[in-house]
């Protein structure tokens, strides 16, 4: 059963940013636009975590957090409060409401995911990797590079390549799903680990890097999901 996260913010932009951070995970994401809606959905959904903005209309985040923590049926649900940078007084308001953690806006992806992992370790649950070979073109620092994909999962791929990219490098990539009528996948990702010639993390892999997807274009995502579903059935 996937873990459930309720995102609460009256600004649609911040909801979309958070949904984008979480879309490659197995977490089920729900949204609310203010504290009253969040409280109602919390009573119905019993989410595993709330990430809630402080300043909202009708009922603000602190008031909603206080109501959740005062309800014996809900009080164990962790609440992370989001506040704007430089407003230390807001942290005191959130602490008094009983929140379990803080995030600062604007969100930084790495810090955001670290905060989620504290309460939902399943964020990093790895799916079985599927053997897969395809040429790949990718770009980092405006330099075009090539390599070969050796396996993939819903979250990422391993790329065998002579290029020695550092962990944390963001790249744009394109590759073909040759078993799905040549569907072309366009995506973005970040290098999470690398096998260099000098230091191999995984001996069974050649030089290259493990990449985590951070975004897959809409049509590409549909084709990719169909390919994964078919590959799991075949295996």
Q: Would you write out the chain's pLDDT as a tens digit for each of its 235 residues?
A: 789 999 999 999 999 999 988 876 778 999 999 999 999 999 999 999 999 999 999 999 999 999 999 999 999 999 999 998 777 789 999 999 999 999 999 998 878 988 998 999 877 655 567 888 999 999 999 999 999 999 988 888 999 999 999 988 999 999 998 654 567 899 999 998 898 877 777 888 899 999 989 889 888 888 888 888 777 666 5
Q: Which ranges of the chain would DSSP assign to H, the alpha helix?
A: 12-22, 35-45, 61-70, 88-97, 109-119, 218-234
Residue 92: per-residue pLDDT: 92
Pairwise CA distance, residues 160 & 46, whole Å: 43
SS3 146: strand
- Looking at residue 232, its pLDDT comes to 67
**DSSP 3-state assignment of 183?**
strand
Domains of the chain from N-terminus onward? 4-124 (3.40.50.2300), 130-234 (2.40.10.220)
d(CA 184, CA 60): 45
- What tokens does 29 get? 């994401």
| The residue to which tokens 């903005």 are assigned | 53
Distance CA 98, CA 164 (A): 46
| Angle, CA 169 vertex, CA 163 and CA 174 arms, to 5° | 70
What is the Cα Rg of the chain in Å? 20
Q: What's the pLDDT at 18?
A: 94
The runs of H, that is alpha helices, within 46-123 are: 61-70, 88-97, 109-119
Name, in order, each residue with C-beta under 8 angstroms of 6's C-beta and a sequence gap of 6 or more.
30, 31, 32, 38, 41, 42, 45, 47, 49, 50, 51, 52
Taking a C-beta distance cutoff of 8 angstroms, is the pair 78, 49 a contact?
Answer: yes
Determine how β-strand 208-216 pairs with β-strand 183-195: antiparallel
Question: Per-residue pLDDT tens for 96-111?
Answer: 999 999 999 999 887 8
pLDDT digits (tens, 9 = 90+) for 172-208: 999 998 654 567 899 999 998 898 877 777 888 899 9
- Tell me which residue of 79, 100, 108, 57 sits closest to 7, measured CA to CA: 79
**Lookup: tokens for 190:** 């970040």
The pTM assigned to this predicted structure is 0.61
Please report the pLDDT score of residue 180 as a whole number: 47
pLDDT at 121: 82
């Amino acid at each position: 059963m996937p873990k459930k996260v309720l995102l609460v913010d009256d600004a649609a932009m911040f909801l979309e940013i958070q949904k984008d951070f979480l879309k490659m995970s197995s977490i089920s994401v729900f949204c609310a636009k203010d504290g009253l809606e969040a409280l109602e959905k919390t009573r119905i959904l019993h989410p595993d975590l709330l990430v809630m903005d402080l300043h909202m209309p009708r009922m603000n985040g602190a008031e909603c957090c206080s109501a959740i923590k005062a309800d014996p049926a809900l009080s164990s649900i962790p609440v992370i409060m989001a506040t704007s940078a430089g407003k230390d007084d807001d942290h005191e308001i959130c602490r008094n409401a009983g929140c379990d953690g803080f995030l600062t806006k604007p969100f930084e992806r790495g810090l955001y995911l670290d905060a989620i992992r504290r309460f939902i370790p399943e964020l990093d649950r790895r799916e079985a990797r599927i053997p897969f070979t395809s040429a790949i073109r990718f770009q980092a620092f405006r330099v075009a590079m090539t390599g070969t994909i050796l396996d993939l999962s819903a979250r990422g791929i391993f790329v065998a390549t002579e290029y020695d990219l550092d962990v944390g490098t963001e790249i744009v990539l394109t590759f073909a799903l040759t078993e799905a009528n040549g569907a072309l996948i366009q995506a973005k990702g970040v290098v999470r680990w690398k096998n260099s010639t000098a230091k191999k993390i995984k001996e069974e892999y050649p030089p290259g890097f493990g990449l985590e997807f951070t975004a897959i274009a809409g049509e590409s995502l549909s084709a990719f999901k169909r390919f994964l579903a078919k590959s799991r059935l075949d295996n």
